[in-house]
Structure 1
Amino acid sequence: RLRETLDIPVFHDDQHGTAIVVLAALTNALRVVGKDLSSIRAVVSGAGAAGSAIVTLMLAAGVEDVVVYDRLGCLSRHDETLPPAQRRLAEVTNPRDVRGDLRAALDGADVFIGVSAPGVLEAEWIPDMAEDPVVFALANPDPEVDPAEAAKHAAVVASGRSDYPNQINNVLAFPGVFRGLLDARATDVTVEMMLAAAEAIAGVVTDDQLNPSFIIPSVFHPDVPTAVATAIREG
């Protein structure tokens, strides 16, 4: 692997950057609805580069119940037919061994995070989720569900688009990450650093600012790069 062969940090914006910002937004979304990371059920649609990185960081942050859904259905460790990449995800997720389609995965879930394809989530399925559900539909430019339709049923909705509230944009993670890595003379990007960066981004949104339409700071917020750099340097 590239990270193991180089003596400099390897940072992938669509993986590490997206995972950091998603965790920051999720942290604040759960503050809005009064839930804890350790107690939620989450569904991640998409088992590619972004999805796998998001799941890895969510697990490290304390989320215990994550179901990953992709074109093969809900990934299960008991499915011997899974390709290697999906099998690695299945081994650390889906503790209740949920099987079937996306709607089956969403039943009783607190959180949906989509990094997959347009239109895979029907807004009418959201009421099947737990009370005060959180929906992050991040496929760009066309999200998994129309944010306006999702907002009719979900307590908090985010997307990757700038024309709706709560844009989850991986640019929030850098240049702060790079500045922090340079300051620390780091040779790797660790999970601890990424957790610290997510906490720093979430913390920029103060209690009096936090609301369902404002869970993540603007990409132009002047405090974000410094907060992230400090978190990476000290993480």
Structure 2
Amino acid sequence: YNLTIKQNTVAIVTDGSAVLGLGNLGPEAALPVMEGKAMLFKEFAGIDAFPICLNTQDTEEIIRTVQNIAPVFGGVNLEDISAPRCFEIEARLRETLDIPIFHDDQHGTAIVSLAALINALKIVKKSLAKVCIVINGAGAAGVAIARLLRQAGAENIIMCDSKGILSKDRTDMNPEKLEFAVAKGGTLADAIAGADVFLGVSAPGVLTRSMVQSMAENPIVFAMANPIPEIQPELIMEDAAIIATGRSDYPNQINNVLAFPGIFRGALDCKASTITTSMYLGAAYAIASLVSPEQLDKEHIIPSVFDERVAIAVADAVQLAARAEGIARD
């Protein structure tokens, strides 16, 4: 760590199987996306990140390749690998390597979503433990959001995929989906009636205005599909108390760049051996805390992606959690 590039270098590893908004494009087409990611690491956290686009979509080969190149890097950022393969790849690498492994599509999205939701709930004066949350999309991001919200204290989560509510009577579900299966099935419209929060990490246009109107009083709608959200914000301005998207041309952009640079900065600075849920929670609360009570309103529930305090605050929270858990080596 002291004498080589390991102290400040992250590998951005993809197989190009789930490029945001574009799907399975393969390694060559994924390369410019990973290069962009490397620029964000440098700009926001001063980290030297290197794009590594693998010409295989075989789970075992990806795991073996990352294990073999790991000695050079202080951490690995997995990116744009399709679900459910991404869950196994991340879990196996965490078991076998002693550097932080972070799948950004899962945990970066979950951290920033939780941060925004913490502040949105303050505005509508509802508690995380009591609200009914509907998550549409049960891929990498949806499952990670659900897991982190549970850890943060959410008790009532209904998850939907393209076939409707994840229910115990369905036979087409992977273990990650089964984790969130409920007793009663139905459509997204059934799930959302009376719900307080909609979190979409799914597909364009799947949410209708009438669905939003069927929600509880002061509904919160995070339509985060990119580049086209689950519903256009203009359609529900009068119906939703708070609206967020993944886009930069609307207020309340839920953007992973608020999380991953600071996460890795903190992990590298304390030479963390892994990344844990308490680090995610610390990061989410740190991001949320940067919106002061005076600034907090329905169009300002999350800091700007250009707010230079964010990466520092996240890095500090990550280090604090790492030391508390005894996984910091410095």
Relative to the length of structure 2, the TM-score reads 0.68
**Superposition CA RMSD, Å:** 1.1
Choose the corresponding residue for 2:235, options 130, 146, 149: 149
Higher-Rg structure is: 2
3-state SS of the aligned residue for 1:68?
Answer: strand
Q: Deviations over 1:8-48 (max 9, x none)?
A: 11011111111000000000000110011101100000000
Q: Deviations over 1:160-214 (max 9, x none)?
A: 0011000000000031111110122211110001000000000000000000000
Q: Distance in 2 between matches of 1:166 and 1:196?
A: 20
- 1:226 corresponds to: 312
User: Unpaired segments of 5 or more residues in structure 1?
Assistant: none
Q: Distance in 2 between matches of 1:98 and 1:214?
A: 36
Residues 53 and 187 of structure 1, relative CA distance in 2, 3 Å threshold:
same
Q: Which residues of 2 match residues 17-56 of structure 1 at below 5 A?
A: 17-56=108-147
3-state SS of the aligned residue for 1:89?
Answer: coil
| Aligned residues of 1:98 and 1:105 also touching (Cα < 8 A) | no
| Aligned residues of 2:158 and 2:180 also touching (Cα < 8 A) | no
Deviation at 1:88, TM superposition (A): 2.8
Letter of the structure 2 residue corresponding to residue 2 of structure 1: L
| Aligned residues of 2:168 and 2:184 also touching (Cα < 8 A) | no
Q: Equivalent pairs: percent with the same residue? A: 55
- 2:158 corresponds to: 67
Q: Which residues of 2 match residues 149-228 of structure 1 at below 5 A?
A: 149-228=235-314
- 1:10 corresponds to: 101
Q: How many residues are aligned here?
A: 230
Letter of the structure 2 residue corresponding to residue 170 of structure 1: N
Q: Distance in 1 between matches of 2:153 and 2:270?
A: 26
Residues 15 and 176 of structure 1, relative CA distance in 2, 3 Å threshold:
same
- 2:66 corresponds to: none
- 2:201 corresponds to: 115
User: Unpaired segments of 5 or more residues in structure 2?
Assistant: 1-91, 322-330
3-state SS of the aligned residue for 1:11?
Answer: strand
**Worse-matched range after superposition: 122-131 or 52-61:** 122-131
